[in-house]
Amino acid sequence: MKKTTILSVILLVLGAYQYASSQDLKLNNLEYFETQGVNVLVYNNLFTGGFNDEKNAGIELIHHGVRTAQGGAIRLSNTPEQWDLVPDISNRKVDRASNTIEATLRYKDYDFESKVVVTPKGKGIEIAVYLDKPVPKALEKAAGFNLEFLPSQYWGKAYLMDGRYNRFPRYVVGNSTTNPNSEKPKQFKGYNTSDDRGTGRFVDPLPLEKGRTFLLAPDEPSRLIKITSQDADLMLYDGRVLAQNGWFVVRSLLPAGKTGKVLSWTVEPNAIKGWVREPNIGFSQVGYLPAQQKVAVIELDKKDKPLATVSLYKIGADGNAASVYSSKIQDWGDYYKYHYVKFDFTSVKEPGIYFIKYGNFQTNNFLIENSVYDKITDATSDIWIPIHMNHMTVNEAYRVWHGEPFKEGYRQAPPNTDHFDLHAQGPTTDTKYKALESIPGLNVGGFFDAGDFDIETGANISVVQNFVRTWEYFKPQRDQTFVSQKQRYVDLHRPDGTPDVLQFIEHGTLNLVAQAEKIGHMSQTLSNAVLDNYHHLGDAASLTDGLPYNPNLAPYEVAPDGRSSGVKDDLWAFTTRNPGLDMNAATMMAAASRALKGYNDDLSARALQQSKRLLKESTELIANLPPDSFARRFGSSASSNLQLYISTGEQQYLDKFQELLWPALDRNVNFGLLTALDAIPHLDAAYKEKLRPYVVKYNDYIKGLEKNNPYGVPIGLGNWAGSGEVINFGTTVCFASKYFPDIVAASHAFKASNYLFGCHPYHNYSLVATVGATRPKAVFYGNNRADFSFIPGNVAPGLLFRKPDHFENYDDWPFFWGQNEGTIAGNTSYLIFGSAFKNLVK
């Protein structure tokens, strides 16, 4: 009887699997294959030329609501890294008659072209590779079809290869080989990739397993996938051997000397019978003021029938919870993949601890209280920003975040250098310095751009502007950071008697003024010379040896006096002149000169001097550009002239500001309105009245957002998620409602804060690290990303849109910079928004 019962259970389980898995995938109107619980995207998202492999492209699987596999394409490496070559998708064809999607993939460096055809087959899809010409000799045993699986969704799960059991490792394991003399396909774009200490050039991971039938996660039905191949071995690799952001890779090599259909896989994702995605109840993790509007947005699977009511519970002093308010839901409608309803509990005003309950689903708790927004910027200004101060040692209690980086300074980038991260040097240096000559005086001040350690000049310009706006409007006296330029030392949580924001303005201005003085104009960036340094994680001071390179020394040799070395690790200054960037710098320096007056008068005077010079020179350079060039049409800056007028009082700058402003607002009121609002305290009543119709136009835009999406904020759909757009929207609303309260209601600013703090698609985590104490995001892309951690106060880019209809934000995998990486420009934009928002609340 026992044996019969066990056998019956096994048969029932297998039957259920067969039923669930046998649901046919259909080609939908959005041009991907779909059944409930499974979406297979086929080159809906393409590899980018600028950043190569962002783990966001190719054939992708969205499995029970989570994108778990991607990168399906012909690749030239077992475990491709970010900067490895990616194929151009020269043609994508959807054929509804044959129910197929096909794409042509091309590697122009090898004149190698292939065609990948995806067709529904049985319980899954067939992926077939066709060649018109055999694999080039240089790519034999290198070109293969890869499909990559997200480690965080599979580690700890079991797998079977041809019936052999194993388990996906939590931490990178596996064997590799090294062969410095091996001939590999060209994987990079021609820039210097590493010296011989770099691992990536000589290491090849070996497969964890090899076979013809591969079953992933039979112990987790929501991640269960079966892959079979009749043509070639399936090899499983752990891409984390070479890079912490590597994925589990399933790969088959293309055969040499063959044409036609040379490879085929059958991929069968399990679809759980009757699966419906759980509701995502979006609300502010920070909480709500008693008097503010309070609306939760509930994101529902389109197959999920909305419930009639939602309830709000209050937790009493005795720990028990009781329902205090119930309401009918308000239907909003469909937005991309999901259906949305709203729950308005504005009438609940009593301070306390609450949670929302929708059917069997309830949220974590949140507060209704008058002080919920008081500290929303503290972690950003006290921790994240000072940690990103370059050329300083940064200490926090027992922890050193980083030592003093780049003591050796910066060298002139060689002409005609096509570099990584969109950096490039033009045909000349545009400076008095020769290629690789040391440029003195640049290793001072400035802020790391983001999760890397370069100084992006454009971003640093925005940073100082954000600090100055915060200082001039709100004069924050918060002092929680010790900053000593003389000692090149920063100590967190240690007041030094000077407002932190003023010290941040000084620190950013020091580097930018040094660029103007030493180079003669603004650099594009101060960045890494070699790729192995660029993707460095950990202490920035260990990225280089701190000693200037001496070509007369042997590799890694240190001079007897200890002042130079034979290590080619010095950073480069990319100095191709950009008059638009110079004009932006003129704006920033004019503003910084005001803020620094009385604190650092010397730096203030130097900033103003460089501002005037750069504005004059950049205006002349832009005037000589072709009439149809972008810089000629949009380069002249109303903002630069406004800032110089405020700093100097000279009429010429005011006249130019007025000349440029109104046409800019006519072109795009959203883009120029904040600059126009900045001028109100410095101009007369007639100016404010002339601005009024533009504010009315902006208010119409705000109203339109309510119809555009259920959150009522601008949601970006690009390759960088949209928190920045939401922050800029919130800041503009704060200032517009300050000066035109009869037109723009202050309540619109709360839409921005709600979105940032949890009322958004996909999940309801606060997008600001440690802000929203119950459930902020816990994993970010920072320079500590390999620790699966965060730097307090980091603001995530947010909900990344994957074409054609999927939003995502991973909190278990930090290595997607487009959704998890905080930037110095973005986080200081959050500082000005948070300051303006707190002021509005008061």
**Site of tokens 């802020």:** 447
User: For the stretch 621-660, what's the b/e string if a residue is b when 16 or more beta carbons lie within 10 angstroms of its beta carbon?
Assistant: bbeeeeeeeebeeebbbbbbbbbbbbbbeeeebbebbbeb
Q: Is 162 a catalytic residue?
A: no
CB atoms within 10 A of CB 609: 15
d(CA 218, CA 220): 6
**Beta-strand relationship, 393-396 and 489-492:** parallel
Cis before 804 (ω within 30): yes
DSSP 437: -
* Residue 270 burial class via C-beta count within 10 angstroms: exposed 0-12, middle 13-18, buried 19 and up: buried
Q: How far is CA 194 from CA 186, 190, 270, 749, in A?
A: 14, 12, 43, 48
Handedness of CA 104, 106, 111, 112 (dihedral sign): negative
Residues 6+ apart with CB under 8 A from 227: 147, 213, 214, 215, 216, 234, 250, 265, 266, 267, 268
Cite the DSSP H helix spans in 249-384.
Answer: 378-379
Of 499, 508, 459, which is closest to residue 477 (Cα–Cα)? 499
d(CA 467, CA 459): 12
DSSP 449: -
DSSP 597-662: TTTSHHHHHHHHHHHHHHHHHHHHHHHTS-TTSHHHHH-S-HHHHHHHHHHH--HHHHHHHHHHHH
- State the virtual CA torsion across 114, 115, 121, 125 in degrees, nearest 10: 70
Of 724, 721, 725, 718, which is closest to residue 800 (Cα–Cα)? 721
d(CA 37, CA 65): 7
Nearest 5°: CA angle at 473, between 472 and 475? 65
d(CA 532, CA 338): 42
CB atoms within 10 A of CB 796: 30
Which residue in the list 331, 650, 700, 812 is annotated as catalytic? 812
Ramachandran angles phi, psi of 505, nearest 5°: -60, -45
Of 671, 654, 492, 515, which is closest to residue 589 (Cα–Cα)? 515
Residues 6+ apart with CB under 8 A from 643: 586, 587, 588, 590, 591, 611
DSSP 761-772: SS---BSBTTSS
**Site of tokens 């394409």:** 73
Q: Is 449 a catalytic residue?
A: no
Cite the DSSP H helix spans in 709-782.
Answer: 723-739, 747-756
d(CA 58, CA 118): 12
User: For the stretch 467-498, what's the b/e string if a residue is b when 16 or more beta carbons lie within 10 angstroms of its beta carbon?
Assistant: bbbbbebeebeebbbbbebeebebbbeeeeee
Residue 703's H or E segment, with its range, is helix 685-708
CB 516 within 8 A of CB 603: no
Cite the DSSP H helix spans in 287-399.
Answer: 378-379, 385-387
CB 63 within 8 A of CB 53: no
CB 544 within 8 A of CB 456: no
**Catalytic residue annotation:** 812, 821
